[in-house]
């Protein structure tokens, strides 16, 4: 059984600012860890040391641990997006993670839609450039499975062959895997699993529902996680249900994840 259950900070989908109400509700519901998931797309936000200190103090006040941080993913090929911007923002995000005591940075890779060979080469180059900062801050990168476009087995195989597990791991997103019919990714890359984005959907839309509210095969996924030896927090990446209070939703979310047949 994992030592902790975690939840992402952006469960109120439209909110970008103060997360104090969320941290209070997470702790009251029983969560012991959080996945920082603010400002991961669009124009980059660079976190100052004072901001990291405030977040750390907020987490400590509520008895929460920031287990991992979502990296900046840019505008996915938009007019203001460059590799240099991606690198600068994620060096800042790695430093932010270090200041919070987190040791995993989740990234969306590749950076843009392109032929697979080009995507692999570009991603390897970007990860090489980011590695010195991540190593300096004691942070590993977790590459997340996506749905637009989905990565192939060859993409992940190439990355994991090039970088060892001390630097590069895998973040399994259950909702994305359902949408792309790639549930097997978690078993294929079990030895690299260092982060989880657990949520449900109808198989067509990225709905970020609680487990059991969609079509995800949780028995298969949880069995693969258990067999992998994964010991980090099981993390929910869900969006608050319309009409529910923040406190009510967080309590429901904790009941759901703590009640999954993991052990």
Q: Is residue 248 part of a domain?
A: no
pLDDT at 15: 58
pTM of the model: 0.95
Decide if pLDDT at 65 tops 90: yes
43 against 61, higher pLDDT: 61
Mean of per-residue pLDDT scores for the chain? 93
Q: Output the domain CATH number for residue 13.
A: 3.20.20.150
Q: Is residue 263 part of a domain?
A: no
pLDDT at 42: 85
pLDDT in tens, 179-222: 999 999 999 999 999 999 999 999 999 999 999 999 999 999 99
Distance (Å, rounded) from C-alpha 50 to C-alpha 165? 32
Q: How far is CA 169 from CA 118, 145, 243, in A?
A: 21, 11, 37
DSSP 145: P
Q: How far is CA 15 from CA 45, 91, 110, 255, in A?
A: 15, 24, 26, 24
Structural domain including 43 reads 5-243+253-258
Domains contained in the chain, number: 1
pLDDT in tens, 108-158: 999 888 899 999 999 999 999 999 999 999 999 999 999 988 999 999 999
């Amino acid at each position: 059984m994992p030592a902790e259950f975690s939840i992402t900070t952006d469960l109120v989908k439209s909110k970008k600012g103060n997360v104090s109400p969320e941290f209070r509700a997470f702790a009251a519901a029983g969560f012991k860890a959080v996945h920082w998931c603010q400002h991961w797309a669009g124009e980059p936000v660079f976190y100052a040391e004072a901001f990291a200190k405030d977040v750390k103090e907020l987490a400590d006040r509520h008895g929460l641990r920031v287990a991992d941080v979502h990296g900046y993913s840019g505008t996915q090929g938009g007019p203001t997006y460059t590799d240099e911007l991606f690198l600068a923002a994620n060096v800042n995000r790695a430093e932010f993670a270090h200041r919070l005591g987190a040791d995993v940075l989740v990234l969306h890779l590749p950076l843009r839609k392109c032929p697979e060979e080009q995507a692999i080469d570009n991603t390897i180059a970007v990860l090489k450039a980011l590695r010195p900062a991540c190593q300096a801050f004691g942070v590993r990168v977790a590459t997340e499975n996506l749905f637009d476009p989905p990565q192939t087995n060859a993409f992940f195989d190439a990355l994991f062959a090039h970088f060892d597990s001390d630097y590069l791991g895998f973040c399994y997103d259950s909702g994305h895997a359902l949408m792309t019919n790639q549930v097997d990714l978690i078993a294929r890359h079990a030895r690299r699993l260092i982060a989880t984005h657990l949520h449900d959907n109808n198989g067509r839309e990225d709905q970020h529902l609680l487990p059991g509210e969609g079509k995800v095969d949780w028995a298969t996924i949880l069995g693969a996680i258990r067999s992998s030896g994964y010991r980090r927090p099981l993390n929910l990446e869900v969006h608050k249900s319309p009409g529910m209070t923040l406190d009510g939703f967080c309590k429901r979310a904790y009941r759901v994840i703590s009640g999954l047949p993991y052990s």
